[in-house]
Structure 1
């Protein structure tokens, strides 16, 4: 199986990641100028969703269409996967008909198993472990607004979840320092922390973590599948709300990002997305452009040995 997959930021070199983000900016400019650019004509992306989605589905589907290809939405309700077809079998069959597969799933091991049996590129559209496509958009947004992130200080506030894990990988790949502010017991998994070694520090006090930071990011306090923990999490995470006063303690040119959907009044104050330091709407749009760059990078080579 020689297909190139994107399950984690670690699947690309730092140079490739920077090229992807710069390409995302170029593709965004083409679209803004109304230039038709269809390198993936007649290419088909299969999109498997086990979890709900707004931005991931829209950005991959619109992105494929804008690149001249098509995307097929598959939910477990509509496929044999939902009725217990082995992942390996599904991967072998689907990858003979498609040019790439995007999967949003719970267990990261599902992605790894699918990819190891797929003839075509597999993209992680979010798993319980990682959300690398979101990080491409985040890094593109920082580059557009503030320039190179290398050597900067980034603060993640809240749950040590899949987004946090992807920020840990980004710290290594994009060469920044990461501070994580979270309640005790909600740290990211030790194996992610171990890989990053001296790039990551854990804080209990969000103010301490944000002091002088150039980028501050957060996410909802309870992810999909954790709904029954909401009441307990609301109490524990209350001191970790990101508000304007907290951002005031960061660097003067701090940028605030949120992967959305946001729960105003919980992980962010009601007014935070309207703060001039927030770039969450640009960040959401950049899912489209960064993923188009990714699709072009992974799928385009198929032409050269057709």
Structure 2
């Protein structure tokens, strides 16, 4: 088990070894058990984390705020529109000052070709851990919760057939960070990953190359299909979720660009339905990072039905976030399993 995490940034899971992620899973399950039993886990007594949000949030903000409280610390929620960032303060200056005030910095910024660079610039100058709450390319905390959920439901992940499927949505343009993170992470755990999408909603080429390399190294597989029925056939896990076209509309008006796209409307049939779920394996589970665009991305009968584990998945955001904070903010001096 990897032991020394203190001060380690979490910007992408690509920069964490599998052994380190395994440790995160072990700690996540331990913290979940203690949460259920009411056992105190005040490993980060009086520590402060700053949560910077450029975009709206429900699960990410609340899992982090509740998590640090349960660990004995405190979160400061920072709406960046009310910070000097809105007047042009640099990520360097923001990171250096916040690091002197507390013990970790976390940030969500999803603007294309800006988000990951901004978080990395903060990490360059911060002597305390910087945690990516979602950027234009990655959502590591969601990836960890998804992995934990699959382990809970299936035990051994090797050979589990997981389909990450694009779906139609009109609520807002969603970044590629969730399916991209899943595509890179799941093959590292020996899963057979299918990425399904209509033409025009592909990932960057390097994602496919790395996903295939991860699969080859760890005994899984990675394939692409443009046939949604094919993606559902014999799947053990389906994750039908919308993401935007980062090539044709890289900036993405978060209120209207997705709804006005003719290409989007042409793929309205890409929807998770009862009929498609009947093609899956007998023990298949339906997952979604939430919020789901109900009756566009998925029928209510699916998300509220026997396949759905979305609320288990959402709860695991709490336990995995706590594990990340307990290890990176405290490391061996704080967490005692």
Per the normalisation by structure 1, the TM-score is 0.93
> Would you say the 8 A contact 1:5–1:298 is kept in 2?
yes
Cα deviation per residue 1:219-256 (whole Å; 9 max; x = unaligned)?
24559744322243542332221122212211111111
More displaced 10-residue stretch of structure 1: 234-243 or 263-272: 234-243
| Counterpart Cα distance in 2 of 1:132 and 1:271 | 29
| Counterpart Cα distance in 2 of 1:145 and 1:39 | 28
Q: Is 2:215 aligned against 1:200?
A: no
Alignment match, 1:242: 272
1:1-306 superposed matches below 5 A: 3-106=7-110, 107-158=115-166, 161-197=176-212, 199-221=221-243, 225-226=253-254, 227-232=256-261, 234-301=264-331, 303=333
Q: Flag the 1:300–1:248 CA change in 2: closer, same or farther, 3 A.
A: same
- Give aligned pairs, total: 303
| Counterpart Cα distance in 2 of 1:95 and 1:291 | 19
Which consecutive residues of structure 2, in runs of 5 or more, have no partner in the other structure? 1-5, 168-174, 214-220, 246-251
Q: After TM superposition, give the deviation of residue 162 of structure 1 in Å.
A: 1.1
> Would you say the 8 A contact 2:54–2:81 is kept in 1?
no
| Counterpart Cα distance in 2 of 1:11 and 1:90 | 24
Aligned-CA RMSD value: 1.9
Cα deviation per residue 1:190-215 (whole Å; 9 max; x = unaligned)?
12112122642211111111211111
> Would you say the 8 A contact 1:257–1:283 is kept in 2?
yes
> Would you say the 8 A contact 2:235–2:280 is kept in 1?
yes
Q: After TM superposition, give the deviation of residue 108 of structure 1 in Å.
A: 1.2
Which consecutive residues of structure 1, in runs of 5 or more, have no partner in the other structure? none
More displaced 10-residue stretch of structure 1: 177-186 or 66-75: 177-186
> Would you say the 8 A contact 2:147–2:186 is kept in 1?
no
Q: After TM superposition, give the deviation of residue 18 of structure 1 in Å.
A: 2.1
Aligned residue for 1:239, secondary structure, equals: coil
| Counterpart Cα distance in 2 of 1:303 and 1:99 | 14
Q: After TM superposition, give the deviation of residue 303 of structure 1 in Å.
A: 4.2
Q: After TM superposition, give the deviation of residue 147 of structure 1 in Å.
A: 1.2
Q: After TM superposition, give the deviation of residue 53 of structure 1 in Å.
A: 0.3
| Counterpart Cα distance in 2 of 1:293 and 1:225 | 34
Q: After TM superposition, give the deviation of residue 155 of structure 1 in Å.
A: 0.4
Per the normalisation by structure 2, the TM-score is 0.85
Cα deviation per residue 1:132-188 (whole Å; 9 max; x = unaligned)?
100111111111122122232210111681111101121343232211111111011
Q: After TM superposition, give the deviation of residue 77 of structure 1 in Å.
A: 2.0
Aligned residue for 1:240, secondary structure, equals: coil
Q: After TM superposition, give the deviation of residue 302 of structure 1 in Å.
A: 8.0
> Would you say the 8 A contact 1:24–1:292 is kept in 2?
yes
